[in-house]
Amino acid sequence: MADDATILLDQALRDLEAAADEPAVEAWRIAVLGRNGSLNALMSRIGAIPTDERRAFGAAANQMKQQMEAAFAERNEALRRASLERETAQAIDVTLPGRPLAIGHYHPTTQIVREISGIFERMGFSVVEGPEVEWDYYNFEALNIPKDHPARDMWDTIWVSPEGPRAEKPMLMRTHTSPMQVRVMEQTEPPIRVIVPGRCYRYEATDATHESMFYQIEGLAVDEGIGLADLKGTLYEFARQMFGEQRKVRFRCDYFPFVEPGVDMSIDCFKCDGKGCRTCKNSGWIEILGAGMVHPEVLRRAGYDPDRYTGFAFGMGPERVAMLRYGIEDIRLFYANDLRFLRQF
């Protein structure tokens, strides 16, 4: 019996060492240490051993079982570690640099807003923001656009108040950033130099050049002795910094209820150098903003004396500037959330 036990132990350990993977080791455990395994078969023969030798044989058998179990655990752990190392080696090479984390970037509109803001900040303007849900008073009346005035037809308004413009205090989604002209003047003593970037909303059908939500950047300067030459010089410097020093600038008369006189500003087409092309509709010029001298009535409503103070205001659409700079033909692309478009900027 002792010889059989020794033979069984030696053979079992050799078989265990030859097991090449975890399933083979598990099969070895069942064949040797399982209920019907070879070790239990050997133990079942203890009845054939003389009585005085059984105790010694039982102790030796238990020791052999512990030795087999320890060898099984060690072999199983070694195979598990080897398998894990192989999987790790296939998944990643630890000697290579780490993989960089994917990060986003600013939306193209945000990039243009920040660039425009930076240009005016360098010229002494401060950046302020205002409410997107606005009172009718600030959006229209304080800007020299009284109730039932035809000029209100220039803006397709989204009303928040249930009664619309007939409410006692009508409220709306602001149609432009110009309400901040009055809000800033009400809270500030001249001199004033501010720009106001922000979202605006209009109830209109969307197409390649119109969106129901878009950005505007309003500018306002108020002080004693400000004239149209200051407006032209400021906007000319902006155009040179934004579109290049070689740009030519053109001012033409235009109408806005809250400025007098009103102008629009165009730059010579940077696609064709003013010769005429599809981008400038063969005119050689591209309109980029509207501006003018702040209307005396607007100054008066804000509590300023128009005989003492004058100022200029301007407004532009960052999306339009981005469309001109990058050759984008459809404004709807900005907010379609198509990463193929956004990743280009």
Q: Which of 61, 216, 239, 298 is catalytic?
A: 216
**Annotation says 105 is catalytic:** no
Q: Is the pLDDT of residue 164 over 90?
A: no
Side chain identity, residue 330? D
pLDDT over threshold 90, residue 287: no
Return the higher-pLDDT residue of 179 and 4.
179
Active-site pick, 176, 193, 295, 301: 176
The pLDDT, as a whole number, for residue 229 is: 95
Q: To which residue do tokens 């030798």 refer? A: 53
The one catalytic residue among 54, 107, 202, 250: 202
Residue 223 buriedness (CB in 10 A; 0-12 / 13-18 / 19+): middle
Average pLDDT over every residue of 65-79: 81
In the prediction, which pLDDT does 234 show? 95
Backbone angles phi, psi at 324, to 5 degrees: -70, -45
Look up 63 and say whether it is catalytic: no
149 belongs to the catalytic site:
no
Choosing from 182, 259, 294, 302, the catalytic residue is 259
* CA pair distance 115, 58, nearest whole angstrom: 88
- For residue 335, the cross-strand partners are none
Is residue 331 within 8 A of residue 214, CB to CB? The reply is yes
The SS3 assignment for 13 reads helix
Q: Give me the catalytic one of 128, 182, 194, 313.
A: 313
Digit-coded pLDDT (tens) for 116-143: 999 999 999 999 999 999 999 999 999 9
Q: What is the average per-residue pLDDT within 327-343?
A: 88
Residues 6+ apart with CB under 8 A from 290: 254, 256, 262, 263, 264, 265, 314, 315, 316
CA angle 38, 39, 44 (to 5 degrees): 95
- The catalytically annotated residue of 155, 285, 320, 322 is 155
pLDDT at 186: 94
209-251 pLDDT tens trace: 788 899 999 999 999 999 999 999 999 999 999 888 888 899 9
The confidence score (pLDDT) of residue 97 equals 82
User: For this structure, is 159 an active site residue?
Assistant: no
pLDDT at 93 > cutoff 90: no
| Lowest-pLDDT choice from 26-35, 154-163, 203-212, 328-337 | 26-35
pTM: 0.68
Name the residue among 288, 291, 209, 178 with its Cα closest to residue 242: 288
Q: Is 61 annotated in the active site? A: no
Give the largest CA-CA distance in the chain: 130
∠ CA 164-169-172, nearest 5°, is: 50
